[in-house]
Amino acid sequence: MNLFGPLWLSAQLALVTTIILVVIGAPVAWWLARTTSRVKPAVQAVVAMPIVLPPTVLGFYLLILLGPNGAVGSWWVQMTGSALTFSFTGLVIASCIYSLPFAVQPMQNAFESLPQKYLERAWTLGASRLDAFFSIAVPLSVRGFVSGIVLSFAHTLGEFGVVLMVGGNIPGETRVVSIAIYDHVETLNYAAAHRMSLVLVAFAFIVLATMFVINRRWSER
């Protein structure tokens, strides 16, 4: 089994998922950080559920939802003629849901630590709320964005249960590196499993070390 095929597919999945999560997660994190709505705890619970739910449980319900007879899956089949399950597109959707809290929570923490006076001054000078968000909130919350991006990418790269339930094990389409490692172990090909696992271990160490260095330098400013 090719070593670089699953790694490349996993990297593509992690990159696409991370980009989508930044675009979607930033407004959600901003709303959670600024709102006083009574539904805030419920929204926070929904966002954080992938952290505590077993991946197979989440993957099962996503399989039902995205399947040809599911609410989302049936609509997708009518629109495109193809199924979401056991496809790269389905993996992206499942990965976005699975890694959502790892993107939202760091950005939310960064937004919550942002002094209100900076936003009030921008509004006083005539800036709209959208202008203040992009010109004040986002630049001052870069640390949260970096943490969210790193954690989302790393978490998506190593996911197993959700991608197995939703995507299966199709070479070149849904066989990501975690599935490939499982296949190697099943066939007692421990050498290949070791090589792939070592790549993920090294990547995880580099990513976490880099994030800690960035956070330390940022806190020293």
Average pLDDT over residues 117-125: 85
Put simply, whether the predicted model's pTM sits higher than 0.95 gets the answer no
How confident is residue 109, by pLDDT bands cut at 50, 70 and 90? very high
Share of the chain above pLDDT 90, in %: 57
Using CB atoms within 10 Å of the CB of residue 32, give its burial: 0 to 12 exposed, 13 to 18 middle, 19+ buried: buried
| Per-residue pLDDT tens digits for 39-51 | 999 999 999 999 9
Q: Which domain holds residue 202?
A: 4-219
Which residue blocks in the chain are alpha helix, DSSP H? 4-34, 40-52, 55-66, 71-80, 88-112, 116-124, 129-132, 138-140, 142-157, 161-167, 177-186, 190-219
With beta carbons less than 8 A apart as the criterion, state whether 5 and 171 touch.
yes
Q: Tell me what pLDDT residue 17 has.
A: 96
| Residue 134 CB neighbours (<10 A) | 12
Q: Tell me what pLDDT residue 220 has.
A: 64
With beta carbons less than 8 A apart as the criterion, state whether 168 and 174 touch.
yes
Domain count, the chain: 1
Residue 5 has pLDDT above 90, yes or no: no
Average of per-residue pLDDT values in the chain: 90
Q: Using N-to-C axis directions, what is the helix angle for 71-80 and 55-66, rounded to 10°?
A: 50
Residue 200, domain CATH:
1.10.3720.10
Using CB atoms within 10 Å of the CB of residue 110, give its burial: 0 to 12 exposed, 13 to 18 middle, 19+ buried: buried
Residue 221 has pLDDT above 70, yes or no: no
Share of the chain above pLDDT 70, in %: 97
